[in-house]
């Protein structure tokens, strides 16, 4: 039986909740099952009301530190401290990448540029694509 709704027709977007795009792409890593990456425990269970909240989440949890050394991956409070560090001689030891899974600067930049479109689901998929450029969206 079909019910006609009067006066309160929703286009469906009002009640849409978004999850973290990373948890869509790697559900195991970005969930409470990942005891090694405590930061990511909330990723699969956070429900974000709109694209700007999705972005906030990405900046908060998935952004690399603002000023980190590309060699040793130490992070610094200011760009000046980082500059001093990268110019010191002998230079620091190159270490293994500490946060390879976090958003690169290019990714961060393209996500910042995304304006919430009329269809926020579409915007969400565009953001997912920014993060997973190899079509590897499981």
When asked if residue 92 is in the footprint of Zn ion (CB under 5 A), the reply is yes
Distance CA 11, CA 97 (A): 45
Which residues 15-34 are close enough to bind Zn ion by CB under 5 A? Answer: 20, 22
When asked if residue 127 is in the footprint of Zn ion (CB under 5 A), the reply is no
**Size of the chain, expressed as the number of residues it contains:** 138
CB closer to Zn ion, 72 vs 132: 72
Strand partners, 68: 75
Q: Which of 41, 69, 75, 99 binds Zn ion (CB under 5 A)?
A: 69
Tell me the number of residues near Zn ion by CB under 5 A. 8
Give me the least distance between CB of 128 and Zn ion, in Å please. 12
Stretch that binds Zn ion, among 2-10, 14-22, 96-104, 123-131 (CB under 5 A): 14-22
On the 0-12 / 13-18 / 19+ scale of CB atoms within 10 A, 110 is middle
Q: Which residue has the tokens 């992070």?
A: 75
CB closer to Zn ion, 27 vs 116: 27
Distance CA 18, CA 51 (A): 8
When asked if residue 82 is in the footprint of Zn ion (CB under 5 A), the reply is no
52 closest CA partner among 134, 100, 135, 117: 117
When asked if residue 37 is in the footprint of Zn ion (CB under 5 A), the reply is no
Task: Collapse the DSSP code of 65 into the 3-class scheme (helix H, G, I; strand E, B; otherwise coil) and give the result.
Answer: coil
Interface ranges with Zn ion (CB under 5 A): 20, 22, 43, 61, 69, 71-72, 92
């Amino acid at each position: 039986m079909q019910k006609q709704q009067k006066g309160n027709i929703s286009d469906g977007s009002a009640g849409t909740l978004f999850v973290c795009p990373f948890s869509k792409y790697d559900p195991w890593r970005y969930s409470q099952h990942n005891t090694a990456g405590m930061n990511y425990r909330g990723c699969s269970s956070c429900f974000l009301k709109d694209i700007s909240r999705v972005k906030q989440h990405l900046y908060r949890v998935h952004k690399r530190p603002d000023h980190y050394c590309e060699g040793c991956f130490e992070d610094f409070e200011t760009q000046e401290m980082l500059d001093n560090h990268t110019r010191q001689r002998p230079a620091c030891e190159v270490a293994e990448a500490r946060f390879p899974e976090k958003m690169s600067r290019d990714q961060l930049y393209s996500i910042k540029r995304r304006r919430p479109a009329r269809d926020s689901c579409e915007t969400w998929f565009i953001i997912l694509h920014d993060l997973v450029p190899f079509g590897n969206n499981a």
